[in-house]
C-alpha cells in the first residue's frame, strides 16, 4: 500500500503522535508499504530531518488551529498516488481541511483520534468546549462520520470517546499503539544525561519526561514528592520536557515552597543519548496525569526495564498493572504519595523484577511492530484490500 499521513505538525515537541508517526512509517516501509506525510509546519524546520519518508511542508501553521490554504489542492493533485490516507488528530485545519478533497477524489481515509475525544477536556475550559461543539456540528463531526474508521489506541480510549459529541456517528476500531525499541545500552547515554543535569550529580532519581502541561499532574507530583522527600534524603526528582504552557516557573516556586526546590531538576526537553540515559538511569518513571491517551514515554520507560508509576487516568494503566511492570494510583496528591511510598518500601529484588516485567509488557503490547501490523490491517480494510 501507499499511505498518505495528514497531520498538523511533525514536531516531536508536540507529543506522542509525531513520535509515533516517525517510527510507524519506518516499520511499515520494512514490511513493504510506502508512506508520505503532509503537514502544516514551516518550511526549513530542523525536526523535518528526523523523518525518513517524504514530507510535504505547506508552511502556514499558525496558532492552535492552523491554516493551510494549499492543503486541499495538494491532496486533490496527489490523491491518485495513494491507496489510503490517515488523518492524525482533531480540532485543527489538518484534521478538517482535507475532507472535501478526500471525498472528491474518492481516496478512502481513517482518522486517528489520538485521545482528542476524551471528556476530560470538556471540564477544563467551558468556552473552548462550546467552540468544539460548534466545530463538531458542521466540520469535525462530518470528517469522522465519512471516515472508513476512527482509530483508538486502546479500549479505554474508545470507551471514553463514546458520547463525547452527538450528531455524527462513526465507525470505531481499536488498534495497537507503540514505539520502537530503544537503542542498545551505552555508557555514553548515562554520561550525556548527567552532563545535561549537572546539579543532580550521581544521586538516584525519579523521572518525568514529557510536555509540561496541566493535564500531566505535575503539581500533584511536586506535592507527592514533598511528602516522601524527608524520609528519602538521597532521592531527587527530574522533570524533563518542553514548557509549552508556561508552567515551569510556578512549579519551581511550589517546589521551593514545600522545601524540595534544590532536589527537583528541570533540564527541559531531552533527546538522543541524553533522553535514553535519563530513562536508563532512573529508579522509576512517574506519570500522574489527569488525562493521558496512551503515554509514549511510559512505553519507552518500560522498554528500558524501568518500572512505571502512573495514575489510573493513563489509558494503558490496565496493561501496566496486568504485566506487573509498575504501580497505579488515583490522580491526586495523597494517592500518588502513597504510591511512591509503596514503591520505596519494595525490596530491591522486587524492583528489578518489576523492571523486567515492564520490558516484557512492552514487547507484548507496545512494540512498534505490533502497532504496524494492526494499522496495516485497518488500512487494508479501509481501502478494500484485506490481507494486504
pLDDT at 353 over 80: yes
Which residue did the predictor score with more confidence, 322 or 167? 322
- 183 burial (CB, 10 Å; 0-12 / 13-18 / 19+) is exposed
The pLDDT-based confidence of 385 (bands split at 50, 70, 90) is: confident
pLDDT of residue 118: 82
Q: Which of 333, 83, 95 is nearest to 224 (CA)?
A: 333
Cβ atoms within 10 Å, residue 149: 21
Question: Tens digits of per-residue pLDDT, 286-329?
Answer: 999 998 888 889 999 999 999 999 999 998 999 999 999 999 99
The whole-angstrom separation of Cα 357 and Cα 271 is 25
CA 272 to chain centre: 17
Which residues, listed in sequence order, are joined to residue 7 by a DSSP beta bridge? 88
Q: What is the pLDDT of residues 168-206, one digit of tens each?
A: 889 999 998 888 899 999 999 999 999 999 999 999 999
Pull the grid cell for residue 112: 486517528
* Residues 256, 171 share a domain: no
The answer to whether residue 388 sits within a structural domain is no
Distance in angstroms (rounded) separating the CA atoms of residues 243 and 210: 9
Could you tell me if residue 387 is inside a domain? no
Domain shared by 224 and 142, yes or no: no
**Tens-place pLDDT, residues 235-292:** 999 999 999 778 999 999 999 999 999 999 999 989 999 999 999 999 999 999 998 8
Same domain, 216 and 266: yes
- Angstrom distance (rounded) from CA 310 to CA 317: 7
Reading phi first (left if > 0) and then psi (alpha if -120 to 50, else beta), residue 81 is in: alpha
Residue 262 DSSP SS3: helix
The stretch 36-51 carries a mean pLDDT of 89
Asked if residue 65 has pLDDT above 70, the reply is no
CATH of the domain at 13: 3.40.50.2000
Whether 269 is in a domain gets the answer yes
In the predicted structure, residue 386 carries a pLDDT above the cut 80: no
pLDDT given at position 276: 97
Range of the domain at 337: 187-366
Confidence of residue 370 (pLDDT cuts 50, 70, 90): very high
In degrees and rounded to multiples of 5, residue 175 shows phi and psi of: -130, 150
Clarify whether residues 167 and 205 are in a common domain.
Answer: no
Amino acid at each position: 500500500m501507499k499511505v498518505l499521513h495528514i497531520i498538523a505538525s511533525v514536531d516531536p515537541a508536540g507529543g506522542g503522535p509525531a513520535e509515533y508517526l516517525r517510527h510507524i512509517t519506518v516499520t511499515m516501509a520494512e514490511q513493504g508499504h510506502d508512506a508520505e506525510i503532509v503537514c502544516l509546519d514551516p518550511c526549513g524546520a530542523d525536526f523535518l530531518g528526523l523523518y525518513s519518508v517524504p514530507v510535504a511542508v505547506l508552511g502556514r501553521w499558525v496558532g492552535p488551529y492552523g491554516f493551510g490554504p494549499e492543503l486541499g489542492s495538494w491532496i486533490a493533485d496527489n490523491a491518485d498516488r495513494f491507496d489510503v490516507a490517515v488523518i492524525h488528530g482533531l480540532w485543527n485545519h489538518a484534521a478538517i481541511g482535507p475532507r472535501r478533497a478526500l471525498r472528491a477524489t474518492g481516496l478512502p481515509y481513517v482518522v486517528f483520534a489520538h485521545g482528542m475525544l476524551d471528556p476530560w477536556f470538556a471540564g477544563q475550559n467551558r468556552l473552548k468546549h462550546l467552540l468544539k461543539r460548534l466545530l463538531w456540528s458542521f466540520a469535525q463531526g462530518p470528517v469522522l462520520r465519512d471516515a472508513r474508521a476512527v482509530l483508538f489506541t486502546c479500549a479505554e480510549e474508545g470507551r471514553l470517546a463514546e458520547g463525547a459529541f452527538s450528531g455524527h456517528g462513526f465507525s470505531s476500531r481499536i488498534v495497537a499503539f507503540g514505539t520502537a525499541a530503544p537503542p542498545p545500552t551505552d555508557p555514553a547515554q548515562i554520561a550525556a544525561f548527567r552532563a545535561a543535569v549537572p546539579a543532580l550529580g550521581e544521586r538516584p532519581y525519579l523521572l518525568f519526561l514529557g510536555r509540561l502541561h496541566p493535564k500531566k499532574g505535575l503539581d500533584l507530583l511536586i506535592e507527592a514528592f514533598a511528602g516522601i522527600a524527608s524520609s528519602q534524603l538521597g532521592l531527587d526528582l527530574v522533570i524533563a520536557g518542553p514548557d509549552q504552557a508556561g508552567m515551569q516557573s510556578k512549579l519551581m516556586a511550589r517546589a521551593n515552597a514545600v522545601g524540595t526546590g534544590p532536589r527537583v531538576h528541570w533540564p527541559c526537553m531531552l533527546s538522543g543519548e541524553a533522553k535514553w540515559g535519563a530513562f536508563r538511569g532512573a529508579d522509576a518513571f512517574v506519570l500522574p496525569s489527569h488525562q493521558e491517551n496512551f503515554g509514549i514515554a511510559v512505553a519507552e520507560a518500560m522498554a528500558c526495564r524501568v518500572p512505571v508509576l502512573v495514575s489510573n487516568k493513563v489509558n494503558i494503566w490496565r496493561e501496566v498493572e496486568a504485566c506487573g511492570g509498575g504501580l497505579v494510583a488515583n490522580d491526586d496528591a495523597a494517592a500518588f504519595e502513597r504510591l511512591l511510598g509503596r514503591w520505596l518500601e519494595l525490596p530491591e529484588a522486587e524492583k528489578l523484577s518489576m523492571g523486567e516485567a515492564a520490558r516484557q509488557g512492552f514487547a507484548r503490547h507496545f512494540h512498534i511492530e505490533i502497532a504496524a501490523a494492526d494499522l496495516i490491517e485497518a488500512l487494508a480494510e479501509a481501502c478494500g484490500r484485506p490481507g494486504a
